[in-house]
Structure 1
């Protein structure tokens, strides 16, 4: 993850998705501080307002073991997320990642939150004041067939596919995976980040909805 201590949030969380990680029945674990970060740089509990503690790497994506599930409940993996955005708007995208787009080859995911300068704040029960993200995004990379048995770094551009999703953090129910799809390059331009740097053939400037059944 790329953690911003001032924002008390990870600006991005990168993780692999495969059936191995979603198999099992572990969780749900208890929310807790990340032992690798200073306590004062993390949120500290529930919010008295309409915000959830929104997972960036979802609980359901790490059911394989108690340890894996415990780690997604670290506060470093949380952001203050509007409850009615968290579910069902954002949850619909998370469900597609977990069911439609996962494959025998690994699906690579980066989930992030963005602050455009107009963010508000929310105070948790411990008194921590946490900036509220203005946007959320995901970028995905996998092989086209999903069953090459090859590392993505060894694939040609023709063997790979990418897509991005950019959501405004609000309760607009018109936001769906289909309406929020874009290229990875577009999200790079908005965030100033560079994704999939170890895969120079990744087709980041292409996002074909038909490739992802949108």
Structure 2
């Protein structure tokens, strides 16, 4: 079967369910790891080194260096300066401010996040787990609480009241269980900039939780695992007019926070050697109940598919010769655990 076109790939919706998602994103006909592009994720870095005072530190600006000020013809070469004979100068508007878009990037102890002000969800959240980080148990979830992120301007924040009685869980993108090595690190995973509205029963408290456990179990094989997680908003064909539409619920009063149709994880499992191999795996799951018996490989997709659906890039600096396909190198199978009792203790607080 030939590779599914990106237009069709993007068409899968939560309403279509897990089975349709699996069909659209099938990789069974392709053994080749897709050539992909990149977010600033390094494939070789030292052990976890928590930044100082990260809890209260403001988010770094989107633009580095001089570009932290709004670009104008006098300060930025990115803005074209009209010739002497030009009757107009559109860039003169930037004297009053640069419209954006702006992404609030926050570097915290266990994660780095990029927040989407328009949809009040993260663009992506990056984490790094190792056997050593998962072996430490100095953090306890019962001491953590969900928090609005003060690093985001108040008018653009996702707020606790937006989730109240919404019917959706505040779904961690970087799970709290991956940050047990430090209580402060765990607390920081509870910022709403690390959350998206997720279906609870059958997804966040079930299949998604098993998927997070799968990522942790990769550290039994790989000494270093880096993961990018985030939401997607994919189109679905309307049977009434046969046209494609992007449709997602908004929660909050007034409606502020978008409910993603899907979620992705892009996994970089490193062999620990300098210049060594990296096993790449990309997965897209619908924000909907998924039966636990559904194979995880049914949701495996080319990294390129996530890039085209999200507008992001993931591995341009990773040479092709160092790339391996994760599900060809390791068993991409879930271990189903009973999270029901633990989740009941937090289910009321998650909503």
TM range (shorter): 0.7 to 0.9
Alignment partner, residue 139 of structure 2: 26
Aligned partner of 1:177 among 280, 288, 296:
296
Deviation at 1:175, TM superposition (A): 4.7
Alignment partner, residue 164 of structure 1: 282
The alignment partner of 1:100 has SS state of helix
The alignment partner of 2:283 has SS state of strand
Distance 2:318 2:166 in 1: 42
Task: Give CA-to-partner distance per residue, 1:33-69, whole Å, 9 cap, x none.
Answer: 2221123322222430320000000000001112111
Distance 1:203 1:188 in 2: 20
Whose relative contact order is higher, 1 or 2, with alpha carbons under 8 Å and at least 6 apart?
A: 2
Residue 6, structure 1, aligned to residue 118, structure 2: yes
Deviation at 1:130, TM superposition (A): 1.1
- Go from structure 1 to structure 2 and tell me whether the alpha carbon gap of 1:82 and 1:203 turns closer, same or farther (over 3 Å shift): farther
Q: Is the 8 A contact 1:92 1:177 kept in 2?
A: no
- Go from structure 1 to structure 2 and tell me whether the alpha carbon gap of 1:9 and 1:37 turns closer, same or farther (over 3 Å shift): same
Deviation at 1:208, TM superposition (A): 5.4
The alignment partner of 2:298 has SS state of coil
Structure 1: state its 5+ residue gaps.
none
Deviation at 1:202, TM superposition (A): 7.2
**Structure with a larger share of its residues in helix:** 2
The alignment partner of 2:318 has SS state of coil
Task: Give CA-to-partner distance per residue, 1:71-121, whole Å, 9 cap, x none.
Answer: 101110011111121020111110100123455532111001012321111
Alignment partner, residue 194 of structure 1: 313
Give the alignment's TM-score, normalised by structure 2. Answer: 0.53
Aligned partner of 1:68 among 177, 185, 201:
185
- In the TM superposition, 1:124-135 aligns within 5 A as 129-135=256-262
Alignment partner, residue 93 of structure 1: 211
**Structure with a larger share of its residues in strand:** 1
Give the alignment's TM-score, normalised by structure 1. Answer: 0.84
Q: Is the 8 A contact 1:142 1:162 kept in 2?
A: yes
Q: Is the 8 A contact 1:48 1:123 kept in 2?
A: no
Alignment partner, residue 121 of structure 1: 250
Structure number with bigger Rg:
2
Distance 2:321 2:263 in 1: 22
**Alignment RMSD, CA only?**
2.3
The alignment partner of 2:296 has SS state of coil
Distance 2:265 2:327 in 1: 15
Deviation at 1:134, TM superposition (A): 0.7
Task: Give CA-to-partner distance per residue, 1:157-202, whole Å, 9 cap, x none.
Answer: xx22111111111113265422211222221222221103442347
Structure 2: state its 5+ residue gaps.
1-112, 235-245, 333-351
Distance 1:88 1:114 in 2: 20
Alignment partner, residue 153 of structure 2: 38
Distance 1:187 1:202 in 2: 21
Alignment partner, residue 331 of structure 2: 213
- In the TM superposition, 1:46-61 aligns within 5 A as 46-61=163-178
